[in-house]
Structure 1
């Protein structure tokens, strides 16, 4: 739904301005956005489950659980 405003244009005529004609994403943009989000999730999953990151997270959790109060 587009909003319409009436205003004085050049030469003291009334002109109609339309706002929000392209508000939102189309179906193709949703598809591209979803594909990009899935690709980013796959890359992050591979990074987090890699050996060095997994070992660093395990050591961090172990140190946190064995910390003195």
Structure 2
């Protein structure tokens, strides 16, 4: 790979990381995960 390809790959990875941080930082994701964990822990008892 050339330097330009590395730069494009790095920018793409940084963009994807930013999108994931924005999505996972939302309250709805936190609530969804909390609900899933509570359901998983309470169905076994």
- Residues 1:60 and 2:41 are matched in the alignment: no
Larger RCO (CA under 8 A, 6+ residues apart): 1
Structure 1 residue ranges, 4+ long, deviating more than 3 angstroms after superposition = none
Flag structure 2 segments of 5+ consecutive residues without an equivalent.
none
Structure 1 alignment gaps of length 5 or more: 1-24
**TM-score if structure 1 supplies the norm length?**
0.58
Please identify which structure carries the higher helix content. 2
What is the number of equivalent residue pairs in this alignment? 45
Alignment of 1:1-69 (within 5 A): 25-68=1-44
Q: Which one has the bigger strand percentage? A: 1
